[in-house]
Amino acid sequence: MPKMIFVIGANATGKTHFIRQCFSGNGMTCFNIKDYQQRVYQEEKAGSLIPPGAQFRYLMRANQLLLEDILKALAQGRDVAAEHTLYMAKRRIAYIDALRKAVTDLTISVYVMCPSDAQWEANASRRGEADQLQRYRKEAELIEFPNVSEGIDAIYEVVDGDVRLRMDPPRPEIYEAAKQALAEEAARLQREDEARERRKQLIGSMRERPFWHYCEVCGKSQFMTAQEAYDAGWDYPPHMGDFGLLGPRTCGGCRLTDTLYWKILTSGTLPIVREKDLTPEELVTWRRIRGEPESLLTEEA
């Protein structure tokens, strides 16, 4: 009977050490979700600044890649141990449902790392992360302790190396609540994907369709195509800069040095727009830019 073991817990609780000590020498295939997260970050060329909303999708992609490798290993007759966070019941249930669908006779166990304060402090110090311990403890508060109603066969609490079976009373309501939450999440992601595709198509159409061009310096406005604006000397997306990003929005007769873009660029501070520092005219320009390209499709009142 194949075995699937999840070792979960907050940072610096000893997950990696526990897996190495208890499972890696027993012929098990061991995976770590962090390896998959790093793989996704590299594939997406994600630097220190991850776009809003992208972090969740990166983590979901890492989860999917890990699940695929777990299923491959199980299909090859290998037992598997995986280091993961899996703080939430719905995340565990998503994994467990997929695993049980693929491997009907699978035994699933979950080990929850619950070190004493002294052990946790020692772990964090060895990692050079003693200053992060308070944050890690906050993370631990988010963990929904596993329950057999999630489809788990055995649940253990690991306290400073002492493994204790902990089988709380079943809570059948967990499963349906989790499935509902997952369905709502999937629907939200689909809506976001559809909105992203609509925006992509809209931006693509801006090279051909006429739209309003507004000069932020002299106030001139003109309804024309991007090519007509470019031929007339306008600094405007899509030929000059990108829709929705700060840049000059000027006609052919006005200067770059009179734009909001130039003011922010030469302010001597971080190139960040703070609305409270803008004049009423600059605020109109900035909000129009943030609303592009939709803000350019109808004439301003």
Residues 93 and 240 both lie in one domain:
no
Other beta carbons less than 10 A from residue 275's beta carbon: 9
Strand 80-84 vs strand 29-32: parallel, antiparallel, or unpaired? parallel
Other beta carbons less than 10 A from residue 38's beta carbon: 13
Other beta carbons less than 10 A from residue 217's beta carbon: 20
Residues 184 and 223 both lie in one domain:
no
Say if 197 falls within a structural domain.
no
Quick: pLDDT tens for 13-61.
Answer: 999 999 999 998 778 899 999 999 999 999 988 776 777 778 899 999 9
Say if 196 falls within a structural domain.
no
Order across the sheet with 3-8: list the strands: 29-32, 80-84, 3-8, 107-113, 154-159, 162-165
CA atoms within 13 A on the CB side of 233: 6
Residues 178 and 58 both lie in one domain:
yes
Residues 171 and 278 both lie in one domain:
no
Distance CA 108, CA 80 (A): 10
Under 8 Å CB-to-CB from 44, ≥6 apart: which residues? Answer: 54, 58
Handedness of CA 75, 80, 82, 86 (dihedral sign): positive
The pTM (predicted TM-score) of the whole model is 0.80
Residue type, position 285, single letter: T
- Domain assignment of residue 12, given as a range: 3-191
Quick: pLDDT tens for 74-87.
Answer: 999 999 999 998 99
Q: What was the pLDDT predicted at 57?
A: 92
Residues 184 and 277 both lie in one domain:
no
